[in-house]
Chains A and B, each alone.
Chain A
Amino acid sequence: MALNEDDLSLLQQFRVPATREKAYTSIIRKYQEKLYWHVRRMVVNHDDANDVLQNVFIKVWKGLDQFREDAQLYTWLYRIATNESLSYIEQQKRRTSVSFDDVAETLGNKLEAEKGFDSNKIEWKLQAAIQQLPEKQRVVFNLRYYDEMPYEEMSQVLETSAGALKASYHHAVKKIEDYILNR
């Protein structure tokens, strides 16, 4: 899939030292909200999301010169954001030596600490259900449900086949339904 014209133009500007910062700022402005919410849904807390997003864009600054133009820029950005989010969760897990169930519980606690949390509201209940999912299923569900990413593009982000992603999404939705009905 060829790079869209706008992203191609930004990439060319980035490669010129005089316009490098301007192009970088434009890339951030274009993708920051999408990437922020993708990260935020994974790590829940704003400060954690901010840390992860900064790491994402530092990697972008360092690696954009090597970015190949035969892929979409946003799938590359999503891949970095997904990997950074999962690494961040993994780091927290290692730091506190907690199991998967404990991670879900920790994320659940973070959710309850969020401003305006109301366990009776369905949006919050959905978020609580998402936090119960295994990490990979959570990513798949978020990318499909919120970002409405096609499976082909998702397979580029997660380096998994589209069929496996479809099955993963199916399991995730069923688990969420079960959580909402039984809690």
Chain B
Amino acid sequence: MKRTREILNELKAISPLVAEISDSMPFSVPDGYFDQFPVSMVGIVTLDSQNQTTDEQSTLIPPSNKQLPFSVPQGYFESFAANMIKLAKEEDEINLEIRRISAVVADIPKSNPFYLPENYFSSLALPAFVSEKKTSGARIINFNSWKKLAVAAAFTGLILTASIYFFNSKPSAQNTEDLTKFSVEAMEKFLTSDDPGLPLPPPPDTDDFSFALIDVNDNTISELLEGVGDNAIKEFMKENPVGDNPSSAN
């Protein structure tokens, strides 16, 4: 741009140095900016007008109704001024108090000198166990295949069998109750009775129960001693003489 004589003369009068500087602009503008700008501006204002028309025509928002839906606690504005004065007085009292104690401390600005990294609070990450609110539930097994079903059935069967065995091995409450009804005398009488129904052995003739009561004849003895030498029998008889045995008397 060429300066007019008036502007140049004025500038020379104030500062010949500045008047010598070229007034060309060193800034650059994106290519085609001024060609596109009018088109984009028409787009912007047309959209803006359409939005305004839509707002005006909206049946949901009556244009005249600017009443806010918010509510204010009763008496808020009436007591606001008084509350503010009260707060200011409280703060004054705190300041006066510290000034009475120490003027030096009172003059120190309350600004925080500690360094805090930029965006610390916005980027504050909670610990993983807090942020991950996943509960560690039991693993869910997919029973789609017949093999898994078979394993499950076998496991259930095992538990059932074990349960049945466990409950049957215990004396039933009924049996225990029946036994408590018998007295000791009744039990003794029952045990010594001659009831043929009982599979009890006949009462022994002697007090010695160390020998079994076997019906023994000569043939049986021969059979029993078959293969046993005479010397061995003699030796046995020597060690166990017949007269010493009280049972031999019978």
Contact = CB atoms under 8 A, between A and B. Distances in A.
B9 interface: no
Interface in B22-48: 22-30, 33-34, 37-39, 41-42, 44-46, 48
Nearest to A117: B26
B24 A123 contact: yes
Given A123-B21, A127-B26, A145-B23, A54 B41 contact: yes
Contacts of B46: 21
A28 interface: yes
Given A28-B41, A32-B38, A170 B30 contact: no
A78 interface: no
Interface of B: 1, 3-4, 7, 11, 14-15, 17-18, 21-30, 33-34, 37-39, 41-42, 44-46, 48
Given A145-B7, A170-B14, A177-B15, A24 B42 contact: yes
Interface residues of A, number: 41
Contact of B18 (A50, A123, A180): A180
Given A28-B37, A180-B17, A37 B25 contact: yes
A178 to B, nearest CB: 9
Contact of B7 (A121, A126, A144): A144
A146 B34 contact: no
B41 A173 contact: no
B11 A145 contact: yes
A170 to B, nearest CB: 6
